[in-house]
Amino acid sequence: MLLNELLISGRDLTELAQSILAKGVCFRLKAKGFSMLPFIRDDDVVTISPLSIFPIGFGKVVAFIDSKIGKLVIHRIIGKNNGYYLIKGDNVFSADGLIPKEDILGSVTKIERNGKNIFLGLGGERLIIALFSKIRAWSLAVLFWELLPLSIRNTIKYRL
């Protein structure tokens, strides 16, 4: 751990993110877990921007408070129903459920991996990803991606 690094998790992280985003300022954190693979990986640095700057919508990756566990979660919006948003991780089978807008803290606007910006998953392709995720076909798409030769995957990544 670096001397100027502060590790915060759980409810403390949730409260800190809420406070900072409520002031209209972006918040950066190191992602933990595998629910958003392949777009957000464990230890990627994500920037969460306030909803006042980047509004939410179908396909957007958002940070929200999971009221069941009181923790901050980063997943993708795959639907909307009567003011509630259906949110799901890209790499999980079931949705988090319908989340009220007031529990959504902000939109993920930047992903950094090993010092490089990652754009795949946040651009226009997010609509296709969300649709595939909603109909639970995303796991097949991820499998297909992983079966492609590395040279083809790299070509696709750099063109997007």
DSSP string, 94-128: S--EEEEGGGEEEEEEEEEETTEEE-TTTSTTHHH
Binned at pLDDT 50, 70 and 90, residue 142 comes out as low
Q: Read off the pLDDT of residues 66-86 as tens digits, 9 standing for 90 and up.
A: 888 888 999 999 999 998 999
Q: Read off the pLDDT of residues 2-33 as tens digits, 9 standing for 90 and up.
A: 567 777 777 888 888 999 999 999 999 999 99
Q: Any idea which of 115-119, 138-142, 152-156 has the lowest mean pLDDT?
A: 138-142
Angle between helices 126-134 and 138-147 (to 10 degrees): 120
Question: Which 8-state DSSP code applies to residue 18?
Answer: H
pTM of the model: 0.81
Structural domains in the chain, sorted by start: 10-159 (2.10.109.10)
Binned at pLDDT 50, 70 and 90, residue 160 comes out as very low
